[in-house]
Amino acid sequence: MSLATYQDELLPAIEAALQAAVQPAQLTNAQSPQELLNMLRYHMGWEGEGAGPKASGKRVRPTLVLLSAAAAGADWRRALPAAAAVEILHNFSLIHDDIQDNSEQRRGRPTVWAKWGMPQAINAGDTLFALAHMALEGLSETTSDAAYIQAARLLPRTSLQLTQGQYLDLAYETMPHITADDYWPMIWGKTGALIAACVRIGALVGGALGAALKAYMVFGEKLGLAFQVHDDLLGIWGNPDAMGKSAHTDLLSGKKSLPVLYALQQEGEFARGWRAGVTAENVDALAEQLEAEGAREYTQQQAEKLTQEAIDALHAANPQPEPGAALAELAEELGRREV
């Protein structure tokens, strides 16, 4: 069964679990403000202008939860509450990210704060944060107590790692002397930890123990880092039409992404130009210079190395053949993605 065949089965189930989790009885009773729910449903890509799969995103994280559960030996349906929880947690962080980064567009549509204003957008993110914890509770009925308790402990710890990574990402913007050494703890918190948690929770639901569980954890950790490094490539050289935002975003916003840190360390022409200031006028030339100084190739190599290490760890976990192959295919596909 290929990844695509799995996805045909998984994605509708993920969407149904998400829809149920984002509108629990408490948010749909007579006294509850309908517009708050509308904001959440808009952000999740279910309604409003431009609603649809493109607005929802690829649901990479819940897919990882379900495939990991299947790879470790469980019916993937048992992991659905966790799949919903991690995707809702991810979307809480996106709503807040967009405010923090002053981003008016996501996936080709206005962001929540651009539509409803900053105060309501902060609150909409907080609402998803609470809903993520509620969604996970379903796991207490679909899996062992041990797996549920470990997953329930992992969720707030992963949230804490998200906020630690986000702290660093924001702080680095105004710190002049950030190096590649500072980069890895930042992306580990910002992106790696949640992707690692997806694989770990899936493997726990699947009943993985000991060396196998550890191998799944390494798979998740390497995959999470590879995902962010590839994201750094897309943030500078991604196709703006495909991504639904403007080109060279990360250069214009001053983000200390891996290609930038690599080139700053070279102290060459890019470093001088970047320090003098990135503008709409010089950004194309700076992106070309960055590539000429080898930053794109270096970053690409890092992403490929991490993806390969992830796949090696996955094999060491001795997964069930079909979901294991689909997980490896997903890892490779993420390393080639254009959005």
Which of 11, 114, 122, 252 is in the footprint of its own copies by CB under 8 A? 122
Complex with its own copies: residue 36 or 316, whichever CB lies closer:
36
Complex with its own copies: residue 106 or 296, whichever CB lies closer:
106
* Least distance (Å) between residue 99 CB and its own copies: 6
- 282 contacts: CB under 8 Å, gap ≥ 6: 273
The window from 104-112, 117-125, 258-266, 272-280 that contacts its own copies (CB under 8 A) reads: 117-125
- Distance (Å) of CA 272 to CA 179, 262, 276, 278: 16, 13, 6, 11
Complex with its own copies: residue 80 or 99, whichever CB lies closer:
99
Report 1-30 residues binding its own copies (CB under 8 A).
26-27
* Residue 315 binds its own copies (CB under 8 A): no
Please state, in angstroms and rounded to a whole number, the distance separating the CA atoms of residues 263 and 59.
Answer: 33
C-alpha torsion sign, points 148, 151, 155, 157: positive
Which of 2, 8, 12, 153 is in the footprint of its own copies by CB under 8 A? 153
* Residue 210 binds its own copies (CB under 8 A): no
Question: Is the separation of the CB atoms in 192 and 225 below 8 Å?
Answer: yes
- Distance (Å) of CA 31 to CA 22, 25, 28: 17, 11, 8
Which of 65, 131, 201, 325 is in the footprint of its own copies by CB under 8 A? 131
Tokens of 57: 């995103």
Tokens of 145: 């107590």
**Binding string to its own copies for residues 72 to 111, with x set by CB under 8 A, is what?**
---------------------x--x--xxx----------
Tokens of 247: 């080109």
* Residue 32 binds its own copies (CB under 8 A): yes
Complex with its own copies: residue 99 or 215, whichever CB lies closer:
99
C-alpha torsion sign, points 170, 175, 180, 182: negative
* Least distance (Å) between residue 147 CB and its own copies: 16
* Residue 114 binds its own copies (CB under 8 A): no
Complex with its own copies: residue 87 or 293, whichever CB lies closer:
87
Tokens of 285: 């030339």
- Distance (Å) of CA 132 to CA 67, 83, 241: 20, 10, 31
Q: Closest Cα partner for 155 from 83, 228, 251? A: 83
* Least distance (Å) between residue 148 CB and its own copies: 11
**Binding string to its own copies for residues 170 to 189, with x set by CB under 8 A, is what?**
xx-------------x----
Please state, in angstroms and rounded to a whole number, the distance separating the CA atoms of residues 72 and 154.
Answer: 18
Q: Closest Cα partner for 202 from 223, 216, 218, 192? A: 216
Instruction: Report the run of H or E that residue 110 belongs to, with start and end.
Output: strand 109-110
The window from 160-168, 197-205, 244-252, 327-335 that contacts its own copies (CB under 8 A) reads: 160-168
* Residue 209 binds its own copies (CB under 8 A): no
Complex with its own copies: residue 31 or 279, whichever CB lies closer:
31
List contacts with its own copies (CB under 8 A).
Answer: 26-27, 31-33, 35-36, 93, 96, 99-101, 118-120, 122-127, 129-131, 133-134, 137, 152-153, 155-157, 159-164, 166-168, 170-171, 185
